[in-house]
Amino acid sequence: MNAPPAHASLSLRARVDADWPFILDVWVASWRVTYPEIDFEGRRDWLLRRIRELEEAGAVTLCLFDAQSALAGFVVINPADGWLDQICVAPDRFGAGFGALLLSAARNVSPRLIRLDVNADNARAIRFYERDGFSRVGRGANTLSGRETVMMEWRPQGD
């Protein structure tokens, strides 16, 4: 785990086509740590299609780069409905504040509401979202794995 990021040495920008290999690599590596029994390598094409479909529907993909221009993480959120479909941090950056920076970027895109679902057995992620002000609002199921999910929501205080 790296030290907390120095904000001046980071850059956040919208995804460009040259980012695809890095986005896919970070996504596979991150999920491999969380669920080693699932073949995320075999889901690269799915993720590429998924993000493209989301972007065609109005979602924004933001990429966070470190001082060496390496992709530290990314987030995919639709400003129209606040749906956060993907947030992913490189595993060697877990716990170093990159996820919080990506959530902050998501709030800039969708300042009134963020909705997401998270696997119910992913306690680390649920704690992360709850510490960041998200509330549990329902349950569901992951369409790919069938795993139970927790629906979570964030709204600004006072709303």
pLDDT digits (tens, 9 = 90+) for 124-158: 999 999 999 999 999 999 887 788 999 999 999 87
Under 8 Å CB-to-CB from 49, ≥6 apart: which residues? none
> 119: pLDDT confidence band, cut at 50, 70 and 90?
very high
Q: For all residues of the chain together, what is the average pLDDT?
A: 92
pLDDT digits (tens, 9 = 90+) for 71-114: 999 999 999 999 999 999 999 998 889 999 999 999 999 999 99
For residue 96, the model assigns a pLDDT of: 87
Give the integer Cα–Cα distance in Å for 53 and 154: 24
Where exactly are the structural domains of the chain? 7-112
In CATH, the architecture of 7-112 is 3-Layer(aba) Sandwich (3.40)
Asked whether the predicted pLDDT for residue 1 surpasses 80, the reply is no
For residue 67 the two structure tokens come to: 């001082």
What dihedral angle (degrees, nearest 10) is formed by the CA atoms of 128, 99, 109, 159? 20
Under 8 Å CB-to-CB from 157, ≥6 apart: which residues? 133
Asked whether the predicted pLDDT for residue 4 surpasses 90, the reply is no
Under 8 Å CB-to-CB from 9, ≥6 apart: which residues? 66, 67
For residue 125, the model assigns a pLDDT of: 93
Give the integer Cα–Cα distance in Å for 7 and 10: 5
Would you say 103 and 118 are in contact if contact means Cβ atoms under 8 Å apart? no
Under 8 Å CB-to-CB from 31, ≥6 apart: which residues? 38, 40, 88
Q: Which helix (DSSP H) or strand (DSSP E) does residue 66 occupy?
A: none
